[in-house]
Amino acid sequence: MTQTAAIIGGGVIGGGWAARFLLNGWDVQVFDPDPDAARKVDEVLANARRSLPGLLDVALPDEGRLSCHGSIAAAVDGASWIQESVPERLDIKHATFAEIQKTCLPQAVIGSSTSGFKPSQLQQGAAAPGQIMVCHPFNPVYLLPLVEVVTTAETDAAVVKSVKRLLTGIGMYPLHLKKEIDAHVADRFLEAVWREALWLVKDGIATTEEIDDAIRYGFGIRWAQMGLFETYRVAGGEAGMKHFMAQFGPALKWPWTKLMDVPEFTDDLVDLIAGQSDAQSGHHSIRALERIRDNNLVAMMRALKAQNWGAGALLQAQETDIRARSVLGQRADDIADPSQPVLTIHRAVPLDWTDYNGHMNEAKYLQAFGDATDRFMELIGCDAAYIASGGSYFTAETHIRHVDEVHAGAIIDVRTRVLGGGGKKMHLWHEMYEGDRLLATGEHFLLHVSLETRRPSDAGPQVDAALRRFAKAQADHPKPEGAGRYVGAPR
């Protein structure tokens, strides 16, 4: 059954939460008193639609329904998750919780996006304190997985368990903190770095752009994949962490830092920072910067996914879970009617698959058809275990016809037919669609090989039988239009 999330406050963060829930199949009900809020949420959603679905190599569930409401009571009606993202002021947050708790479901989770307040502060004076907890996300909420979950003694352990399950289900990484503290964990780092950067600008040591360069050309990339301690462990060389600490620990006491002071936010300092920031990035609109940021995040996260590491390992796990629950997790025996083409790919076109022509690059058609072949091999039993036992298929010949273009974010399906197969041979026909629009066809001839001799060999009996079952059941279908075509054939 579709679940409903209420988003109270639809600004930068509320809009991001709305997109995260919606694109993971939840219905979303928004309340925000700003008359412009629906437009802003729509704009965030448009950016999310072009970036989030393509993170995975399998489609997310169908998008839920979005509605905007004129009161908190209407927005929280029937919601099992309520995410508060109103401005960072305790009095506004308290008034919002009081209004929510007048009518919300008693079992609903009330998560607060607060960047700094402790959950015990949020719970003060609440009708049901145990229902309120910190669920602190990171911008853009629809792409970044981290959520700091901070609870108090009032919070039921079973609720925490269900909160973690629900957040994991929408592709997030709940980090449950052992103790509450002002600004949780991640914002304490960010504040420390920000404070130091402000001094560097104020003292004329570096501009905003130079500081950003110091991060993005170096330790920023390093942190994204290993964090702080794992990075420093490696930096200690063979002698490891203890050596690293012995060598660099004393430096912490040298005057390298002004971390304990905060520069005063005088008009001069604000103008200096804002002016440098305008010079650095003012030629891009905020929405354009968001799109640049999202393109980069998607490319980096997909690179981490290929390595099954860090945030990428989380994507792998989500993808495995979605596949297992869909027809893409089927084996040949699960398919009652083998006479029909088999769905082998159901996914969104990722941002990093598009090119200078603004559409899916030709190389990615081969990628998608290659993935469809891999999926079909798995379906007939040529899976990781079979390959480890020494047999596999190598592609000998490929012919792709590009019929129509497709853009980032579109959901594409590949349906696969067997034109022939058995013994050493497998002849596949892939058709790629967006809805019922044919985008491309791929004809692929593969040979079964022994991975030991690297020479053609007959497929194992179970793989062979499964392949022949499809080939026989589909043999009476007319030959697909375009099959056997070659580049010089008359048009």
Ligand X SMILES: NC(=O)C1=CN([C@@H]2O[C@H](COP(=O)(O)OP(=O)(O)OC[C@H]3O[C@@H](n4cnc5c(N)ncnc54)[C@H](O)[C@@H]3O)[C@@H](O)[C@H]2O)C=CC1
Q: How far is CA 290 from CA 47, 212, 296, in A?
A: 8, 16, 10
Which one of residues 6, 10, 163, 439 is an interface residue with ligand X (CB under 6 A)? 10
> Binding to ligand X by residue 14, rule CB under 6 A?
yes
Residue found by looking up tokens 């020494």 in the block: 390
The residues in 45-104 that bind ligand X, with binding defined as CB under 6 A, are 85-88, 92, 96
Q: Closest distance between ligand X and the C-beta of residue 48, in Å?
A: 15
Beta bridge partners, 448, equal: 393
Report the C-alpha gap between 384 and 41 in whole angstroms. 43
> Binding to ligand L46V6VHR by residue 32, rule CB under 6 A?
no
Binds 187: which of ligand L46V6VHR, ligand X, none (CB < 5-8 Å by kind)? ligand L46V6VHR
Which residue, 30 or 419, has its beta carbon nearer to ligand X? 30
Which one of residues 101, 114, 416, 441 is an interface residue with ligand X (CB under 6 A)? 114
The residues in 134-193 that bind ligand X, with binding defined as CB under 6 A, are 136-137, 139
Which one of residues 3, 47, 115, 416 is an interface residue with ligand L46V6VHR (CB under 6 A)? 115
> Binding to ligand L46V6VHR by residue 112, rule CB under 6 A?
no
Complete edge-to-edge strand list for the sheet that includes strand 391-402: 342-348, 411-422, 425-434, 437-450, 391-402
Report yes or no: 184 and 177 within 8 Å, Cβ to Cβ. Answer: yes
Which residue, 16 or 442, has its beta carbon nearer to ligand L46V6VHR? 16
Binds 86: which of ligand X, ligand L46V6VHR, none (CB < 5-8 Å by kind)? ligand X
Q: Counting beta carbons within 10 angstroms of the beta carbon of residue 89, is it exposed (0 to 12), middle (13 to 18) or buried (19 or more)?
A: exposed
Which one of residues 115, 123, 151, 373 is an interface residue with ligand X (CB under 6 A)? 115
C-alpha dihedral sign at 114, 115, 119, 121: negative
The residues in 324-343 that bind ligand X, with binding defined as CB under 6 A, are none
Sequence-distant (6+) residues with CB within 8 A of 310 are: 224, 225, 226, 304
Binds 32: which of ligand X, ligand L46V6VHR, none (CB < 5-8 Å by kind)? ligand X
> Binding to ligand L46V6VHR by residue 139, rule CB under 6 A?
yes
User: What is the separation of C-alpha 452 from the centre of its chain, rounded to a whole number of angstroms?
Assistant: 38
Peptide bond into 53 cis (omega under 30): no
Which one of residues 117, 138, 369, 386 is an interface residue with ligand L46V6VHR (CB under 6 A)? 138
Helix (H) or strand (E) holding 48: helix 37-51
Report yes or no: 142 and 48 within 8 Å, Cβ to Cβ. Answer: yes
The residues in 177-216 that bind ligand L46V6VHR, with binding defined as CB under 6 A, are 187, 190
* Number of residues in contact with ligand L46V6VHR under rule CB under 6 A: 5
> Binding to ligand X by residue 32, rule CB under 6 A?
yes
Report yes or no: 6 and 22 within 8 Å, Cβ to Cβ. Answer: no
Q: Counting beta carbons within 10 angstroms of the beta carbon of residue 295, is it exposed (0 to 12), middle (13 to 18) or buried (19 or more)?
A: middle
Q: What residues make contact with ligand X under the rule CB under 6 A?
A: 8-14, 31-34, 37, 85-88, 92, 96, 113-115, 136-137, 139
Binding site for ligand L46V6VHR (CB under 6 A): 115, 138-139, 187, 190
